[in-house]
Structure 1
Amino acid sequence: MRNDLDISLLRAFTAIVDAGGVTRAAAALGVSQAAASQQVKRLEESLDCRLFERAGRRLVLAPAGERLLAQARRLLALNDEVWSSMRTPSFEGEVRFGVPYDIIASFVPAILRRFAKAQPLVRVSLVCEDSRIVREQLTAGQVDLALTTERECGRHGETLRTDRLVWVGVPGGDAHLKDPLPVSLGASTCVFRPVAVEALGKARRDWRAVCEVSRMEPVYAAIEAGLAVAPLLRSSVPERFDILGRDARLPALPEFRINLYAPPGLGPAARDLADHVRASFAERNRRPHNN
């Protein structure tokens, strides 16, 4: 007897987990609430176990559901990868992809890995600069598409994620207590720099620059040595650092947008890379707590 899992049932299961309930999951899947509930019921019957339990008015994972979740995500990812590789036409050539320093390590490796599997004949040239410079290079035709971190979104751009700028320090460090405050800032073209400086000025917090480059290695080195704090996007903070809370007496910082610019007239390979960027962010945004 063959025991084959129905991918659509697994997709409904993970959608309910990610959405925190059947109603929002059904909307995301484009089905009725009754259909989503029925899909989970069929999955439970197939596996002969209970996947969810009621906690008041909320649905929470049962022990069997907790065991299934990671495996279901792997199966769905593999299914989507196979589907994409078989359905996507093969392209050749080069795509010049502009990305700012502050988000390249957090988001780009996963995008490039998946794109390389889907389009092994396309060469991606990665151009790393501050967002302002990346936008200028896009306008000048020096890059084909670009990711940026900005307060707003410009022409031909689309916002893929909204994230808050936060103060970051080393665990157990005391740099945030020093006066003047030692800060690792980007270069003059860094979009975070004027925002952080303005916030410190409004809070009447005296500060001094420890590092003024946009490449992340020296910024991280200053933080790790306990010599400075730095403003970083929450989702780009390495695990070895702490996000400093209100008790650090540092001013609140605003939200930024991660934007994708894919202007009209792109070649097929660049359009396909843009689609991979969108899919990667959409998948990440569905994860619990937006990690």
Structure 2
Amino acid sequence: MRNLDITTLRSFVAVAQSGGVTRASGFLNLTQSAVSMQIKRLEELLGLTLLDRSGRKIALTAAGEQLLAYARRMVTMNDEIFARLTDQDYEGELMLGVPHDIVYPVIPQVLQRFSVEYPRVKVQLLSSYTSNLKEQFRRGEIDVILTTESGLEEGGETLIDVPLRWIGAPGGSAWRQRPLRLAFCRFCLFRPGALGALDAAGLEWEMAVESDNDRTIEATVSADLAITAMLEGHAPPYLEHISTAGTDLPDLGTQRINLYGNSAKPEMVAQLQSMIRQGFGAF
């Protein structure tokens, strides 16, 4: 009788959801070689190829797509059994604040993992601007926050430095217009630096859209009516990076993704911070 191993299924689900072994290893807190070995073991047990490794990005084969639905159910059932039948050390509620533009792709997987390991701890996700999140954090209203900023304040740690890129519609031409048409939220922290870079480069610009809503900015840019600035790797799929090579657009440098945690709930906060750290470490 052959039995599927939950550990290998968990690794397979993590690779499928994150799109690669590197990110999956960060979420699972395992080495890349360990995750690769588990996937290989699963493929050998089933006698099937589950991952298509021929392209630049790992994709699921037809057999892998079929297995994924079963694997998710088995992993979920396994975790539910342990959550229901074993004592849980921690319970309570945490407030996590994250800027809108860096919620994906890391935070949903962190929330999923935390929910599995600490089912009695409720995590409330608040998405807002860095300036708002830092003010609420100072008042003790949020337990853990992520920020996007050029510096670092006392008590925080920098998880990663990410290039700031010009963003436009796929195949768009708005970046060629002069004056350059821009779309930014009023409280976007990237805005002053982007405008300063344009002024330093001697490029004329005009604010085509100014809004309090990120979706409004994204809709305007996707319609090729303006361009904006976002962190590399965090633009939605209906927008794309504009290369500065061969253009007069200035380089925007980098921004830090910082992590701050409140010591009022030390154990739970430390666990959530650890998972966020691992998630961005694999990004």
TM-score by length of 1: 0.68
Does the CA-based 8 Å contact 2:49-2:64 persist in structure 1? no
Counterpart position of 2:167: 168
Distance 1:114-1:234 versus aligned 2 partners, 3 A rule: same
Map of 1:148 onto structure 2 = 147
What does 1:204-219 correspond to in 2, within 5 Å?
Answer: 204-219=202-217
Question: Residue type of the partner of 1:18?
Answer: V
Post-superposition Cα deviations, 1:2-42, rounded to whole Å, max 9, x if no partner, equal x1133455678888x7259xxx99xx7469x8x99987776
Query: Matches of 2:39 and 2:112 in 1, distance apart?
Result: 32
Map of 1:103 onto structure 2:
102
What amino acid maps onto 1:212 in structure 2?
E
Number of equivalent positions? 268
1:39-65 Cα deviation digits (max 9, x unpaired)? 77765653456889x99xxxx99x899
Task: Tell me if the contact between 2:98 and 2:125 (Cα under 8 Å) persists in the aligned partners.
Answer: no
Q: Say what the alpha-carbon RMSD is for the aligned residues.
A: 4.4
Selected match of 1:190 from 188, 191, 208: 188
| Aligned residue in 2 for 1:240 | 238
C-alpha spacing 1:171/1:30, structure 2 compared with 1 (3 Å) = closer
Q: Which residue does 1:229 correspond to in 2? A: 227
* Structure 1 gap ranges (5+): none
Q: Distance in 1 between matches of 2:276 and 2:218?
A: 26
Summarize the Cα distance change of 1:76–1:210 in structure 2 as closer, same or farther, 3 Å threshold.
farther
Note if contact 1:200-1:251 (Cα within 8 Å) is conserved in structure 2: yes
- Equivalent-residue separation in structure 2 for 1:217 and 1:10 (angstroms): 36
Relative to the length of structure 2, the TM-score reads 0.70
Q: What displacement does 1:224 show?
A: 2.5
Following superposition, the deviation at residue 180 of structure 1 comes to 0.8
The CA distance in 1 between the partners of 2:159 and 2:190, in whole Å, is 18
Q: In structure 2, do the counterparts of structure 1 residues 37 and 226 end up closer, same or farther at CA, with 3 Å as the change threshold?
A: closer
Q: Deviations over 1:207-226 (max 9, x none)?
A: 11123335302211221232
* CA positional deviation for 1:227: 1.6
CA contact (8 A) 1:183 1:210 kept: yes
Q: Is the 1:101–1:215 Cα contact (8 Å) retained in structure 2? A: no
SS at match of 1:236: coil
1:89 maps to amino acid: D
Name 1:257's counterpart in structure 2.
256
Q: Which residue of 2 aligns with 1:275?
A: 271
Q: What is aligned with 1:18? A: 21
Residue 111 of structure 1: how far off its partner (Å) = 4.4
Per-residue Cα deviation, 1:165-224 (whole angstroms, up to 9, x for no partner): 21111124321111010111232x422112212222232221111233353022112212
Q: More displaced, 256-265 or 76-85?
A: 76-85
Gaps of 5+ in 2: none
The answer to whether the Cα contact below 8 Å between 1:144 and 1:262 also exists between their aligned partners in 2 is yes
Q: Which moved more, 1:217-226 or 1:3-12?
A: 3-12
- Which string of whole-angstrom CA distances, capped at 9 and with x for unpartnered residues, describes residues 108-130 of structure 1? 4554555566546736262x432
**Take 1:147 and 1:282, find their aligned partners in 2: how far apart are those partners?**
14
Alignment partner of 2:233: what SS?
Answer: helix
Report the Cα distance in structure 1 between the residues aligned to 2:36 and 2:105, rounded to whole angstroms. 35
SS in 1 for 2:167: strand
